[in-house]
Amino acid sequence: MSKTTTLDKQASSQASFQLVASLLDTLDRPLLVSDRGGQILFTNLHAQDALGAGGFNAKPGLNLFRDLLRTDRKRILGKLEAGEQEITLPLEFADGKFRARVRWLPEPDWLAVFIDPIPAETPDDEAAMRQTVQELMQEREITYRNLLAAYLRLQEANRQKTVFLASAAHELKTPLAVMKGYYELLLSGSLGKLSERQKDTLRESKDSCDRLVRLVSMFLNYSALESGKLVLQLHENDLRDCINDMAGRWQDAFQRANVRLDIQLLPDLPLFKFDYQKVQQCMINLLDNALKHTPEDGCVTLVAQRHFWERRLSEVAPSEERRRDNGERANSVLISVRDTGSGIAAEFHQEIFEEFVRVDPSSSGMGLGLAITKRLIQAHRGKVWVDSEIGQGSCFSFILPIYVE
């Protein structure tokens, strides 16, 4: 190639660069071009003004990433090479807030940076925004009030439904008691001798009747709790009598199901104030569940013992010394009902104490027993919980505090 040709080419590329430069100067906003290292190759007139105002004009070796964008070069290049069309970055210089929009020009491997001012909020905009926010808040308040009204209406409808069901359940009590009485009369043989088959059938019917009585009384208890009618009859009682009395009535049902019922009452159980009927109701609910979920040849063990209950404000475990001391100052009674039944998965351990929750919806029951138990125990200012694993049986425990006046 001759020297003249090279000079001609240089002259023509210089001319086209000038042409492009003057075209870019006509742009109404700042534009600058850099190589991939960030070295500024070109700035249009607006960009020169902006850089000048920011005090950058005279800076030798001005670098796009280090001096203007103040960001990591590799991160920006990485994003652009990964296919992002444009990257927007905040830019602060010359006492103004700007945004830089960086684009990649793959062919020369350059970066084009457009600089736009971020418009300051005008007072009008601010006022408009404030009004919009106020309108939104008003709307939210109206929605909230409507929701509250709907919730109260629903609650009232729910209360009326409970009252209606409670009166229906109450009406069932008398006929059920009569039926139960007749079963007992027939089974006692005072109305004539019965064959073993007849007795078996009657016993099964009586069991169903007993279950129905329990369901009705469970529902009545629940509706009483719902309507805030729970009043504890707190008297000094013997927990031993309370448990033995109830266990005696349950032995028969356990025997028929071929499940062993083991009652262990530790010797130092104190006399203390509790509601005899309601605590008995709690134990019945737990025994009933244990029997229902324990297969033949299984075992249900009820243990009652004195206990030191430390209501923890923090998760810090009591020190060894305090624990030893506590052994002598039992302040509660711990009752647990352990079974060798199906067990309950951990995710249901809290939920089963809520109303109408049943792990297996096809099983008999209303899902109320544990919810009622929890409320009755809480009314005694105690607590109830379960330890269980699928296939490993369950252990329901509750604590009743002993109050010394």
Give the C-alpha separation, 345 to 390, whole Å. Answer: 5
Q: Based on the shown chain and the rule CB under 6 A, indicate whether residue 370 belongs to the binding site for ligand ADP.
A: yes
Q: Based on the shown chain and the rule CB under 6 A, indicate whether residue 54 belongs to the binding site for ligand ADP.
A: no
Report how many helices (DSSP H) and strands (DSSP E) the chain contains, helices first: 9, 12
Nearer to ligand ADP (CB atom), residue 142 or residue 390: 390
Q: Based on the shown chain and the rule CB under 6 A, indicate whether residue 394 belongs to the binding site for ligand ADP.
A: yes
Kindly tell me which residue out of 21, 366, 381, 392 binds ligand ADP, with binding defined by CB under 6 A. 366
> Which stretch, 54-62, 84-92, 236-244, 361-369, contacts ligand ADP (CB under 6 A)?
361-369
Give the C-alpha separation, 202 to 47, whole Å. Answer: 101
Q: Based on the shown chain and the rule CB under 6 A, indicate whether residue 345 belongs to the binding site for ligand ADP.
A: no
> Which stretch, 92-100, 120-128, 138-146, 337-345, contacts ligand ADP (CB under 6 A)?
337-345
Q: Based on the shown chain and the rule CB under 6 A, indicate whether residue 237 belongs to the binding site for ligand ADP.
A: no
Residues near 375 by beta carbon (within 8 Å), at least 6 away in sequence: 225, 230
**Could you tell me which of 116, 109, 117, 90 has the C-alpha nearest to residue 38?**
109
Q: Based on the shown chain and the rule CB under 6 A, indicate whether residue 359 belongs to the binding site for ligand ADP.
A: yes
Helices 239-256 and 196-226 pack at an angle, to 10 degrees, of 130
Dihedrals phi, psi of 302, to nearest 5 degrees = -110, 125
Nearer to ligand ADP (CB atom), residue 63 or residue 397: 397
- The least distance separating ligand ADP from the CB of residue 203, rounded to whole angstroms, comes to 22
What is the rounded radius of gyration, in angstroms, for the C-alpha atoms of the chain? 41
> Which stretch, 78-86, 273-281, 304-312, 359-367, contacts ligand ADP (CB under 6 A)?
359-367
Q: Based on the shown chain and the rule CB under 6 A, indicate whether residue 347 belongs to the binding site for ligand ADP.
A: no
- Residue 93: how many other CB atoms lie within 10 Å: 16
Q: Based on the shown chain and the rule CB under 6 A, indicate whether residue 335 belongs to the binding site for ligand ADP.
A: no
- For residue 168, give Cα distances in angstroms to 8, 22, 181, 207, 218: 108, 93, 21, 22, 13
Q: Based on the shown chain and the rule CB under 6 A, indicate whether residue 289 belongs to the binding site for ligand ADP.
A: yes
Q: Based on the shown chain and the rule CB under 6 A, indicate whether residue 298 belongs to the binding site for ligand ADP.
A: no
Place of tokens 């709690």: 282
Residues near 269 by beta carbon (within 8 Å), at least 6 away in sequence: 238, 239, 240, 304, 305, 306, 333
| Binding-site string for ligand ADP from residue 87 to residue 116, where x marks contact by CB under 6 A and - marks none | ------------------------------
- Residue 261: how many other CB atoms lie within 10 Å: 19
Give the interface size with ligand ADP as a residue count (CB under 6 A): 22
Nearer to ligand ADP (CB atom), residue 73 or residue 349: 349
- For residue 330, give Cα distances in angstroms to 6, 266, 336, 402: 105, 13, 16, 9
Q: Based on the shown chain and the rule CB under 6 A, indicate whether residue 158 belongs to the binding site for ligand ADP.
A: no
Nearer to ligand ADP (CB atom), residue 91 or residue 371: 371
Which residues form the interface with ligand ADP (CB under 6 A)?
285, 289-290, 293, 339, 341-342, 344, 352, 357-360, 363, 365-371, 394
